[in-house]
Amino acid sequence: MTPKITIYEIAKAAGVGIGTVSRVLNNHPNVTPETRAKVKEVVMRMHYQPHTYAQRLARRHSQTISAIIPFFTNYFFVEILRGVQEEITSLGYDLMLFGVNNISQVESKFALSLQRGRVDGILFFSMKLPDRIVPRLREAGIPVVLIDSYYPKLDSISVANIDGAYDATNYLINLGYQRIGMINALLMSAPAAERLQGYRRALESNGIRYAADLVKTGVNTKQDGFNREAGYEAMMEFIKMGAEMPEAFFVSSDIQALGAIAALLENGFRVPEDVSMVGFDDIELASHVGLTTMRQPMYQMGQMAVERLAARLSDPGLEVIHKTFLPELVVRGTCRRAKVSAG
């Protein structure tokens, strides 16, 4: 087996230092044309194949971006990651994923990302950024873009959850419903807390009293309650209310809405003939079941986050931006006008 040629052998044959060889291989401008030509001739003659990792270390960039993200199985994150991966690939970067099961693990994942030379930038998803991490980020000089989260001094890409929940609930009110239930996730999740705010605001702005017993969360807490089982469990609790059960629901995610619909169908309810429902996200499955929902541009959010990170890598002095998308109501087949009671 032919031994692998090293950068040291290239430098010796060309009569230059290994730093010069590294600059030539990485197209650094500070090399004379004559030296560049001599090194390239030796590289071709000796059939040298530079080791990718060594090349990256030589130019002090890893060409890798890390994503610190909770709940890989959540459809919301899967869609965003599609956009992230597409854009990262087009820019020639690699993606390193760090899964977080709970908020206590966030600092350790940042510590891994901040190890010298490991990543060039970090994408941080859907969790509160601990204040004590920010000075370490500045010291390391590694840019961070937040997705579905916010910190005043860092770039962020997010969705107007309050406005989206308001529009969803208001849509049901405009269809004639006054008693509207909400299936929510755990309030430790910022999107869940914000969507509850939007639901309450829509009720109160239309003169409808908020009733805490009309908001339920399933006991299945994986993915902060944004899962099919939690939606099923919450709807089963509503069904136990009998005649007091609402005839319309705003559900804080599409995947929960799918579980809620399954519970309704199992118990003889029809959608939308008996119960109307609006979800949130517009995941791919939503169109297959005809779910009316609030669409978030998840794929575009992932793309934009990577674009912003790349821009900040090129120019660290850029002004901080906070881009907020307004969810769009997508009307399908799970809503109908409220039945008018006979006078």
Task: Kindly indicate the confidence band of residue 30, based on its pLDDT and cuts at 50, 70 and 90.
Answer: low
Architecture of the domain whose range is 7-58: Orthogonal Bundle (1.10)
Supply the pTM of this predicted model. 0.75
Task: Kindly indicate the confidence band of residue 343, based on its pLDDT and cuts at 50, 70 and 90.
Answer: very low
The yes-or-no verdict on residue 117 having pLDDT over 80 is no
- 64-159+298-326 against 161-296: fold identical: yes
Task: Kindly indicate the confidence band of residue 180, based on its pLDDT and cuts at 50, 70 and 90.
Answer: very high
Q: What is the pLDDT of residue 294?
A: 98
The yes-or-no verdict on residue 230 having pLDDT over 60 is yes
Q: What is the pLDDT of residue 22?
A: 63
**pLDDT averaged over the chain?**
86
The full 3-state SS of the chain, as one line of letters, equals: CCCCCCHHHHHHHHCCCHHHHHHHHCCCCCCCHHHHHHHHHHHHHCCCCCCHHHHHHHCCCCCEEEEEEECCCCHHHHHHHHHHHHHHHHHCCEEEEEEECCHHHHHHHHHHHCCCCCCCEEEEECCCCCCCHHHHHHHHCCCEEEECCCCCCCEEEEECHHHHHHHHHHHHHHCCCCCEEEECCCCCCHHHHHHHHHHHHHHHHCCCCCCHHHEECCCCCHHHHCCHHHHHHHHHHHHCCHHHCCCEEEECCHHHHHHHHHHHHHCCCCCCCCCEEEEEECCHHHHHHCCEEEECCHHHHHHHHHHHHHHHHHCCCCCCCEEEECCEEECCCCCCCCCCCCC
Average of per-residue pLDDT across 151-167 = 95
Task: Kindly indicate the confidence band of residue 3, based on its pLDDT and cuts at 50, 70 and 90.
Answer: low
Higher-pLDDT residue of 221, 152: 152
Give tens-digit pLDDT for 31-90: 788 998 998 898 888 887 765 434 443 444 678 899 988 765 577 888 898 899 888 887
Q: What CATH class does 161-296 carry?
A: alpha beta
Q: What is the pLDDT of residue 235?
A: 98
Average of per-residue pLDDT across 211-221 = 91
The yes-or-no verdict on residue 270 having pLDDT over 60 is yes
CATH number for 64-159+298-326 (one of 3.40.50.2300, 3.40.50.150, 3.60.15.10, 3.90.870.20): it is 3.40.50.2300
Ordered by start, the domain boundaries in the chain are: 7-58, 64-159+298-326, 161-296
Q: What is the pLDDT of residue 60?
A: 47
